[in-house]
């Protein structure tokens, strides 16, 4: 007898279905974790870029980053409210990631922030913290 029996075929489908059932959640979790890492690095680099632009006195201005619930904006000026919006750079977070923090402004020439603090990114049960200390050092904790 040559060929495949119905039982063999059903067994193959059952094993394949089980593997897919187990692999999809792991793949989605990995994907979300990678999105979180990419977004936290983007926040870190944007804060560092704002500080660098303030230290170099680009446009003879202070620079800062304003945080909304699902986006953040690099701006020129001493505050987000008093900025020149022509120079805004807006970054949108991936779906499912939220950010908490209000605004960090770096003084021109010295690059010191108006206040030390943290920015938190959250996705489900994972949280990433970006810290800004009093002298302007920025890092992911």
Which stretches of the chain are assigned E, i.e. beta strand? Answer: 63-67, 71-76, 89-92, 98-100, 103-106, 117-123, 126-132, 138-140
Q: Are 127 and 37 in contact (CB under 8 A)?
A: no
Position 1 scores a pLDDT of: 60
**CATH 3.55.40.10 assigned to 6-140:** yes
What confidence score (pLDDT) does residue 69 get?
Answer: 86
pLDDT above 90 (res 14): yes
Of the two residues 27 and 134, the one the predictor is more confident about is: 134
Measured distance CA(133)–CA(97) in Å, rounded: 24
- Round to whole Å and give the CA distance between 33 and 133: 26
The residues spanned by each domain of the chain are 6-140
pTM: 0.84
Model confidence at 91: pLDDT above 70: yes
Give the model confidence (pLDDT) of 21-69 as tens digits: 888 888 888 888 999 999 999 999 999 999 999 999 999 999 999 999 8
pLDDT reported for residue 27: 84
pLDDT at 23: 86
Taken in order 65, 67, 68, 69, the sign of the CA dihedral is positive
Say if residue 3's pLDDT is above 90: no
Burial category of 36 from C-beta neighbours within 10 Å (exposed 0-12, middle 13-18, buried 19 and up): buried
């Amino acid at each position: 007898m040559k060929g495949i029996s119905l039982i063999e075929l059903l067994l193959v489908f059952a094993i394949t279905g089980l593997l897919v059932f187990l692999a999809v959640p792991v793949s989605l979790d990995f994907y979300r974790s990678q999105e979180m890492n990419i977004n936290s690095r983007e926040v870190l680099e944007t804060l560092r870029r704002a500080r660098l632009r303030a230290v170099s006195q680009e446009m003879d201005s202070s620079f800062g980053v304003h945080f909304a619930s699902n986006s953040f904006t690099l701006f020129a000026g001493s505050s987000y409210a008093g900025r020149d919006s022509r120079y805004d750079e807006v970054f949108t977070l991936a779906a499912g990631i939220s950010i908490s923090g209000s605004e960090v402004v770096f003084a021109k020439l010295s690059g010191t922030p108006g206040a030390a603090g943290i920015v938190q990114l959250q996705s489900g049960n994972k949280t990433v913290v970006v810290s800004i200390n009093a002298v302007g050092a920025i890092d992911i904790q």
